[in-house]
Chains A and B, each alone.
Chain A
């Protein structure tokens, strides 16, 4: 299949793997963080780690949109959904994320009207078709999905729709990366930058990582060869003692981002003073809310939202996993009390979450598996 198979060529992967191995200094350990959950998914889905030398470790970062949603926000959304005449809509990924009393799926079974949509425009369509209902879109995601929410609000405003609103949970990637860089218990050598986020924000926002923290960043695409090439580019920077922002995903990511998309976001939304991230705690200026001019579309103002904070379960070590301090299997409840069926931490919910990816795709002893493949 065109545009897919050429990015999954095993021969090219072998060649790149050899070049990566050649750049490893003997005795040195390399820890590279892929920030984006989409990358985590690709890495596990294609078994990319099989190509890496043992001294190169990939750390799975916080860029999984549903993984960072705290339980309290899920509770708020379910509360909103159970208000009279409300139709709650959200992306499929969100359906199994647990709140303190259960997930959207559970709430749906209790009788609330929660529907899965593929785009916020689908929610808008539902609002048009149901003028006597109040349709709320639970907006989640990084800068990748924020523009589509903003554009949808602009369209709703232009159409004069009065029964459509946004429960805004959009987050921004840079403060999360900064929080990770400032975390004392962490040692990273470089970052695989988020490709889709960068189609919107461009590459410039990462420059502080290279200049102030001295860590190389390579913005990467989502096919396995994209990621392998990005690892090679990072290793090359490290071996040459450089720390720069480079763009591997040039076929999609413009250096300055997408100005029209940024303009739409800025028109409709503004930064919140702070926002709670699951596992990472409160981070300043790390999320978006609706501007007062668009209050008519802000579900947090139109409805009573309880806003009660739910403490992360003590046993759950999502925070350490998100920061890359622990590997998923090193968490005490991993795979036993916390599984994709009963996810205690959000890393276990989405296939982009580090724990779910490891549990679903990587739960095996690679040394034993290699023996099997050879025999």
Chain B
């Protein structure tokens, strides 16, 4: 090796954000050590590299466990937005989104109704239980195989209500339109919203329209909010998952996300895939009507099934163990994902349910889901376990085991 090595080159500019991250980490580590008591601190220093290497390998699992514990503590720290500006990662549904939501929105608006961060808030109004949710739609392209921004905007909000156990009733629709947007396209979008609302049994009862200058928006954005009434006597939530519970998905995963990626035309890949956008309230009503064993329901949108499973593991402080072979993925979706170097587990769906169900009721739940047209390919993909808490484990088809973590931002294609 020639020239200087990294460690002896102390001159030149330094990255101030690195110094800051290190300082902050040290302060927090110090605080935690004080809390934990002093006997722990000695072990931390023993992790020094030179000494570590010469140790017998039998000590490695214990040392590795210490590091894992330290990482676990670091992950439980209060999230902080470090970036000075919003980046695309903040909207991707992964860790950056969670940090933004918890550090900025939850911090400011904190109240018991918001705090669970479920898909819809549950309100008690004059003796009835109401669910309220809102979602904005900025999909590009606006029209794609299997749907468009219109039915997406209806189905997405209907699904957010349905997975909270509510019967969706009324929606609002807010449109932000860009100067120059073709009225014919708007008509097409609204027609598909109308059809989707009719199919889901909801009505659009209020709305709003804004037009912005050309270049200030990308054609058409839609926000919908929805309310529904809780008719079943259920209290669903990912925090209620218990060891032994079954994890069910209602059909093949990743269809919507891959369809959109291909529809953008940047990849020169063609495949016979359509978006899975659909309102799931009918299927969910069947499920909740047939069994009382359902603990939690989620629709696997941004961030995919992997993100949902991580939410379960974190909220209930359990482990989620899933089997790769059991997860339904269409061959076309798998093929495209293999080519792009992305994992279908992180790819968005718009009509797929993840259900956590008491193991005694799992077969019944599966039977009900499979009896509905949207759930024909429903499958039990895994179960909840006690250890290791907060972690999603995947038994790979190859026969190994690995973690399925949250992504930071969008899955980025690998280069080679």
Which chain A residue has the least Cβ–Cβ distance from B5? A281
- CA A364 – CA B401 in complex, angstroms? 10
Provide the bound-state CA to CA distance between A48 and B89, in Å: 30
Query: Which residue of B25, B88, B343, B413 contacts A91 across the interface (Cβ within 8 Å)?
Result: B413
A105 touches B388 (CB 8 A): no
The contact size tier of chain A is 35 or more
Check if A263 is an interface residue, CB within 8 A of chain B: no
Cα distance, A367 to B82, chains bound together (Å): 35
Q: Is the CB of B398 within 8 A of A47?
A: yes
| Given A101-B17, A316-B6, 10 additional A-B pairs, CB 8 A | A1-B334, A50-B400, A100-B16, A281-B5, A312-B9, A330-B52, A333-B22, A337-B21, A342-B82, A362-B403
Chain A residue with the shortest CB-CB distance to B95: A341
| Smallest beta-carbon distance B92→chain A, Å | 11
Are B405 and A359 in contact, with the CB atoms below 8 A?
yes
Contact A38-B416, Cβ < 8 Å, known A46-B400, A101-B15, A329-B67 = yes
Q: Which residues of A contact B393 (CB under 8 A)?
A: 364, 369, 372
A51–B400 contact, CB under 8 A? yes
- Report the nearest B residue to A340, measured CB to CB: B408
User: Which of A18-26, A159-167, A209-217, A317-325 lies at the interface?
Assistant: A317-325
Asked whether any CB of chain A lies closer than 8 Å to the CB of B184, the reply is: no
Instruction: Considering the complex, give the chain A residue whose CB is closest to the CB of B24.
Output: A337
B399 at the interface (CB under 8 A from A): yes
Residues of B within 8 A of A271 (CB): none
Q: Within 8 Å of chain B (Cβ to Cβ): is A311? A: yes
By a CB distance below 8 angstroms, the chain B residues around A340 are 95, 408
B233 interface residue per 8 A CB criterion: no
Beta-carbon contact of B5 and A319 below 8 Å: yes
Q: A108-B87, A339-B74 are in contact. Are A47 and B68 (CB under 8 A)?
A: no
Q: If A41-B414, A341-B99 touch, does A106 touch B338 (CB 8 Å cutoff)?
A: no
Q: Are B396 and A282 in contact (CB under 8 A)?
A: no
A341 partner residues in chain B, CB cutoff 8 A: 95-96, 99, 408
A71 touching B15, Cβ below 8 Å: yes
Complex CA distance for A65 and B412, rounded to whole angstroms? 14
Known A10-B398, A341-B99, A372-B319; judge A336-B70 contact (CB<8 A).
yes
Q: Which residue of B lies closest to A361 (CB)?
A: B402
Q: Which residues of B, 277-319, contact A by the 8 Å Cβ criterion?
A: 319
Chain B residues with CB under 8 Å of A93's CB are: 412-415
Say which one of A80-88, A137-145, A232-240, A287-295 lies at the interface with B: A137-145
Residues of B contacting A92 in the complex (Cβ-Cβ under 8 angstroms): 412-415
CB proximity of B33 to chain A, nearest CB, Å: 12
- Are A284 and B415 also in contact (CB < 8 A) when A100-B13, A330-B49 are? no
Q: Per a CB cutoff under 8 Å, which of A45, A51, A118, A310 touches B402?
A: A45
The residue that B3 contacts in the complex, of A50, A282, A352, with Cβ under 8 A, is A282
The 0/1 profile, CB within 8 Å of A marked 1, for residues 1-27 of chain B is 111111101111111111101101110
**CB-contacts of B59-76 with A (<8 A):** 61, 64-65, 67-68, 70-71, 74
Give Cα distance in the complex from A325 to B74, angstroms.
Answer: 25
Which of A14, A317, A325, A334 is in CB contact (< 8 Å) with B67? Answer: A334
CB distance from A313 to the nearest CB of B (A): 4
Q: How far is the CA of A333 from the CA of B25 in the complex (A)?
A: 9
Interface assignment of A102: CB less than 8 Å from any CB of chain B: yes
Say whether A132 faces chain B, with CB atoms less than 8 Å apart: no
Contact between B11 and A337, CB atoms less than 8 A apart: no
Residue-wise, chain B 75-105 has the 8 Å CB interface mask toward A (1 for contact) of 0000000111111110000011001000000
Annotate B37-59 by CB proximity to A: 1 below 8 A, 0 otherwise: 00000000001110011000100
- Any chain B CB within 8 A of the CB of A109? yes
**How far apart are the CA atoms of A198 and B94 in the complex, in Å?**
35
Chain A residue numbers with a CB within 8 Å of B65 are: 365, 368
B387 surroundings in chain A (CB, below 8 A): 368, 371-372
Q: Is A243 an interface residue (CB 8 A)?
A: no
Contact of B6 among A145, A311, A335 (CB under 8 A): A311
User: Which residue of chain A has the shortest Cβ distance to B395 in the bound complex?
Assistant: A373
Given that A325-B53, A364-B393 are known contacts, is A50 also in contact with B7, CB under 8 Å in the complex?
no
A98 to B20, CA, bound (A): 14
A320, B49: Cβ atoms closer than 8 Å: yes
User: Given that A46-B402, A93-B415 are known contacts, is A335 also in contact with B70, CB under 8 Å in the complex?
Assistant: yes
The residue among B67, B343, B394, B399 with the most chain A CB atoms within 10 A of its own CB is B399
Give residues of chain B (358-414) contacting chain A, Cβ–Cβ below 8 Å.
Answer: 385, 387-388, 391, 393-403, 405, 408-409, 412-414
Is B225 positioned at the interface, with any CB of A under 8 Å from its CB?
A: no
Contacts of B401 in A (CB 8 A): 47, 50, 364, 366, 369, 373
Residue from B6, B16, B52 whose CB has the most chain A CB atoms within 10 Å: B6
Q: Is the CB of A363 within 8 A of B13?
A: no
Contacts of A183 in B (CB 8 A): 1
**Contact A311 to B10, CB < 8 A, known contacts A179-B1, A368-B387:** yes
Given A71-B15, A105-B88, A109-B86: A10 touches B5 (CB 8 Å cut-off): no
A315 to B13, CA, bound (A): 16
Contact B403 A360 (CB under 8 A): yes
A-facing mask of B91-128, CB < 8 A → 1, else 0?
A: 00001100100000000000000000000000000000
By a CB distance below 8 angstroms, the chain A residues around B7 are 312, 314, 319
List the B side residues contacting A371 at CB < 8 Å: 387
Give CA–CA (A38, B85) in the complex, Å: 32
CB-CB nearest in chain B for A313:
B18
Query: B335: CB under 8 A from chain A?
Result: yes
Q: A363 and B12: CB pair below 8 A?
A: no
Which of A54, A122, A311, A359 is in CB contact (< 8 Å) with B14? A311
The 4 closest A-B pairs by CB, nearest first: A47-B400, A282-B3, A337-B25, A335-B71
Q: Known interface pairs A335-B74, A360-B403. Does A100 touch B15 (Cβ–Cβ under 8 Å)?
A: yes
Residue of B whose beta carbon sits closest to that of A351: B414
- Bound Cα distance from A350 to B413, whole angstroms: 10
